[in-house]
């Protein structure tokens, strides 16, 4: 993180700006499907069954910390839309979380319409939202006050910070196959504390998205650690566990990741920059994640 960008961060009191109402409805990052009694294991098993019945395939599953489980799903509709969009692999999946909060279990998922717009995809994924609702319910959308579609499609959270079309280039190889092999090898070995959660190949393109778990082995590595990061920013009553896991995208011979000042911001756009449970507490995270991912895919 450059000195100039650190100054921007320190001077800004809010992570993002209020959306200007240009549409009838604002979109938010997550959907709470349901909450109630039970266990994480029971609710996760029920979710997997319901998702399969509604046309989804489980690509991978990840428990970033106790009492939390993330089920990553894809479908023909998601992959078809990804194939039509620049770097559409980032939107080839949806994430479903099952989280124990006090004495209740929350089942939530990423909002397909929100993801489709912040990732500048061709389709709006309304059909995917309908199927997720049928599988998991829809109690309320949450995660932000909400932003308009037009703002979502050009989102960045402040002057000088990254847009969707400014990802980090982690590595380049001689071919797509070599790049994929490098990612597979690095994730299999757990290089840099980065492990594989899933892989989804985009049909008709040389593009694959990998979901990755991030675990710091020491206090010095905590700023790239999923559990530490979420302990600082995911503190509200309804949990945004479906923010995880992070992604690495192979597109042709190049390997990319969305820089954390964008990737975290889209899921937590209303979080305060300073004070308790703020982005200031994870200021070192963007570079820590980038370096960990770069180490993992560089052979």
* Whether the predicted pLDDT of 189 surpasses 80: yes
CA atoms within 13 A on the CB side of 189: 13
The pLDDT, as a whole number, for residue 23 is 55
Q: Sort 83 into a burial class: Cβ within 10 Å, 0-12 / 13-18 / 19+.
A: middle
Tokens in use for 36?
């109630």
Question: What are the pLDDT digits (tens) for 91-126?
Answer: 999 999 999 999 999 999 999 999 999 999 999 999
Distance CA 87, CA 115 (A): 13
Is the CATH code 3.30.310.70 the one for domain 16-297? yes
Question: What are the pLDDT digits (tens) for 256-267?
Answer: 999 999 999 999
Confidence of residue 173 (pLDDT cuts 50, 70, 90): very high
Residue with the bigger pLDDT between 275 and 174: it is 174
Give the domain ranges of the chain: 16-297
Which of 48, 2, 29, 65 is closest to 230 using CA atoms? 65
Which positions ≥6 away from 103 have C-beta within 8 Å?
37
The pLDDT, as a whole number, for residue 3 is 42
Give DSSP secondary structure letters for 137-174: --SEEESSS-B-HHHHTT--SSTTS--TT--EEEEE-S
Q: Average pLDDT of 47-53?
A: 98
Residues 71, 48 contacting (CB under 8 angstroms): yes
Distance CA 153, CA 233 (A): 24
Residues 85, 125 contacting (CB under 8 angstroms): no
Strand order across the beta sheet in which 254-257 lies: 168-172, 254-257, 246-251, 207-214, 194-201
Confidence of residue 299 (pLDDT cuts 50, 70, 90): confident
3-state SS of the chain: helix, strand, coil percent to 5?
40, 25, 35
């Amino acid at each position: 993180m450059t000195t100039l960008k650190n100054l921007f961060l320190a001077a800004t009191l809010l992570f993002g700006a209020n959306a200007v109402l240009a549409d009838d409805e604002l979109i938010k990052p997550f959907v709470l499907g349901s909450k109630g009694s039970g266990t994480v294991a029971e609710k996760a098993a029920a979710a997997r069954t319901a998702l399969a019945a509604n046309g989804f395939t489980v690509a991978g599953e990840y428990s970033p910390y106790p009492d939390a489980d993330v089920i990553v799903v894809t479908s023909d509709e998601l992959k078809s839309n990804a194939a039509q969009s620049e770097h559409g692999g980032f939107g080839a999946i949806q994430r479903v979380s099952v989280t124990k909060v006090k004495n209740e279990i929350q089942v939530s998922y990423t909002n397909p319409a929100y993801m489709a717009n912040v990732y500048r995809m061709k389709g709006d994924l309304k059909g995917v939202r309908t199927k997720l609702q049928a599988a998991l319910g829809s109690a309320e959308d949450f995660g932000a006050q909400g932003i308009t579609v037009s703002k979502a499609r050009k989102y960045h959270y402040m002057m000088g910070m990254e847009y969707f079309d400014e990802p980090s280039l982690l590595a380049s190889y001689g071919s797509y196959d070599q790049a994929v092999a490098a990612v597979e090898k690095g994730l299999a070995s757990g290089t840099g504390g980065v492990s594989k959660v899933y892989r989804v190949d985009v049909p008709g393109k040389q593009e694959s998205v990998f979901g990755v778990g991030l675990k710091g082995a020491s206090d010095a590595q905590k700023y790239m650690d999923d559990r530490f990061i979420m302990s600082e920013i995911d503190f509200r009553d309804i949990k945004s566990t479906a923010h995880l896991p992070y992604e690495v995208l192979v597109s042709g011979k190049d390997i990319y990741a969305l820089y954390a000042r964008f990737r975290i911001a889209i899921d937590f756009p209303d979080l305060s920059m300073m004070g308790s449970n703020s982005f200031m507490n994870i200021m070192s995270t963007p570079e820590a994640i980038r370096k960990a991912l770069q180490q993992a895919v560089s052979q």
